[in-house]
Amino acid sequence: MGRKIRIAFTGVFDLANYGDHLFPNIFENQMKKRGLECEITLFSVFACEQAFEEGRHVYSIYNIDKMHIENAFDAVIVGGGELIHYGLYQHIFEGRYVDYPIFDLWVVPCLFVKKYHVKLIWNAPGIPFDFEKGYSTFTKWLLEGVDYLAVRNIQSKMSLVKCGIDVKRISVIPDTGLLLKDVYSRDECVKETTISIPQKKYVVIHTSKLMPENDRDIFKVCLENLMERGFKLILLPLAYTNDDDEILKRLNASLNYKCIVLDKRLKLEDIVRVISGCDLYIGFSYHGAITAFCFGKKAIVYNYTQNRKTIDLFDSLKKGQYCIDSAEKLLDAIEGILSEPPTFNENLSGIEADIEKHFDKIENMLNSSNISDSEHQIESAYRAISDILSAFSSEKQIQAKNTQDIIANWNKTQKQLDTVVQEWSKCSEELKKSNMALEGTTKELEKSNMALERTTKELEKSNMALEGMIKELELFKKETQRLQKSQVSWQEYGKMIQKEREVRDAVMRLIGR
């Protein structure tokens, strides 16, 4: 038996994110199937014990030079996973949030092989978005030393082509996680795990802290609907590095603690066992869905961030209707998928064959002594640096021109604003005059109202006096009638008549006034 091939394998093995930890195990299994013994050393950003695996050490990528000098590596394998970008994100590592420079997991290997003349192989990592112009030039130079350039979807390939990389150099290979069943059979996982799984039908649920706030109530209603149908719900954390376990505990509390929460820190075998026995997987995890597909299980992915890797996966399996981007579509997706026939991975065999060819090619390359031409690396580096500086210089010129345009537009806007201010000043003066006129009119109205009030009071007094006179007249009439009946003397009667006339004259004078 010959010497083992020493492999430096880079990826996110220091963070507890399920999918990333599948790649080295699948790679090692595929090489063994081809009779190739490999000694694999894992490299990540941080040195630690591998998450999800016990007793396996992960070395810091920044120590790869020193370790190579002590015991040379034959090749460097990059990925898979969504590694190929220059983003800096925060993740939980050893109980605290840290900045994670994921780009070092592929940039450092590119620089390393330029220095040490070692084979560099991409194991179908992904590129989430196109590179900016300056980074494109740098990326093109970095990838000159890659012996086998494989990415996991056509969009990743096009991102490289836009960098100026020859399209013939780039292979598109489905995510190698789709071969996990070769490593983790259900029977073996049952033997290796001690977690308790319900015997009745169940649905695996995975969620994320990034779920939009307005989707959470709808998501909860969909889960309640599944429980009403008789399904048990298992809340499965797949990314402890994103606080999945705490998020799922809160979800269980909102559902009155009716779900199964796996409090024990899980290993890869535990996760595979849970998903491989489910009736349906619903979640955010790309590799959670892949695990379900590998075992012929149904899967719905809530792809709220529109990750193109997830869209490509479901489209390639002709299950695009179950890759949804909002909770409002979840209930219909559940109805549709539960009516599907039990066999759910009929389109997987062709994909598996493509991945097998990928590993055939890697095995041939590891057995071969051919390595990418590294001559003229210094000249190439100088040219690349010059191109990079030129690219950034062009960006600066564009930014400067954009700044000048912005200033010119601002000056134009300022003049327009000055005109508007002047017009407003005129309007303001007219408005002041109108207000003064209105105030004068208001004062005149107030005087008229006061005069009207005085007249009204005088009329009220006159009416009261008139009412008194009328009452006296009525009394006089009554007295006259009484005297007539009593046959008083005409003299007395004349006096009363005279009194009546005086009263009438007084009334007439009052009315005339």
Question: For residue 66, how far is the Cα from the chain centroid?
Answer: 41
Conformational region of residue 74, where left means phi above 0, alpha means psi within -120 to 50, and beta covers everything else: alpha
DSSP state letters, 193-206: ------SS-EEEE-
Asked if the model's pLDDT at residue 453 lies above 60, the reply is yes
Place of tokens 């150099």: 169
- Of the candidates 275, 256, 250, 97, the residue with the CA atom closest to the CA atom of residue 180: 275
Q: Do the beta carbons of residue 231 and residue 204 sit within 8 Å?
A: no
Secondary structure in 3-state letters for 121-188: EECCECCCCCCCHHHHHHHHHHHHHCCEEEECCHHHHHHHHCCCCCHHHEEECCCHHHHHHHCCCHHH
Q: Contact 343/296 with Cβ under 8 angstroms?
A: yes
**Percent of the chain topping pLDDT 90:** 52
pLDDT band for position 274 (cuts 50, 70, 90)? very high
CA distances from 429 to 127, 400, 421, 426, 432 (A): 63, 43, 12, 5, 5
- For 80, the token pair is 């898979």
Please report the pLDDT score of residue 214 as a whole number: 86
With 90 as the cut, is the pLDDT of residue 405 above it?
Answer: no
Strands 48-49 and 202-205: unpaired
What's the pLDDT at 231? 95
Element housing 452 (H / E): helix 377-486
According to the model, what pLDDT value does residue 369 have?
Answer: 77
Look at residue 85 in the predicted model and tell me its pLDDT. Answer: 94
Which tens digits make up the pLDDT trace of 214-267?
888 999 999 999 999 999 999 999 998 888 999 999 999 999 999 999 878 889
Look at strands 280-283 and 202-205 and give their pairing: parallel
Question: Averaged over 169-183, what is the pLDDT?
Answer: 95
Q: How big is the chain, counted in residues? A: 513
Does the structure show a pLDDT above 80 at 502?
no
Phi and psi angles of residue 474, each rounded to the nearest 5 degrees, phi first: -65, -40
Separation of alpha carbons 189 and 128, rounded Å: 32
Average pLDDT (16-22) is: 94
Residues 247 and 224: their CA atoms lie apart, in Å, by: 17
Q: Would you state the torsion angle of the CA atoms of residues 218, 222, 225, 227, taken in this order, to the nearest 10 degrees?
A: -120
Mean pLDDT of 405-420: 63
Is residue 135 within 8 A of residue 108, CB to CB? The reply is no
CB atoms within 10 A of CB 450: 10
Mind listing the pLDDT tens digit for each residue in 36-47?
999 999 999 999
Give the position of tokens 């620089």. 111
Residue 145: both structure tokens together: 């030393």
Distance CA 121, CA 365 (A): 9
From residue 146, alpha-carbon distances to 143, 169, 385 in Å are 5, 10, 18
Q: Is 373 helix (H, G, I), strand (E, B) or coil?
A: coil
Average pLDDT taken over every residue of the chain: 85
Instruction: Tell me the H-state helices in 214-347.
Output: 216-228, 244-254, 268-276, 286-294, 308-316, 330-338
pLDDT number for residue 397: 52
338-350: pLDDT as tens digits: 998 877 666 788 8
User: What pTM was computed for the model?
Assistant: 0.73
Q: Residues 451-473: what's their mean pLDDT?
A: 80
Distance (Å, whole) CA 33 – CA 47: 30
Write the CA distances from 14 to 215, 239, 241, integer angstroms.
Answer: 31, 12, 10
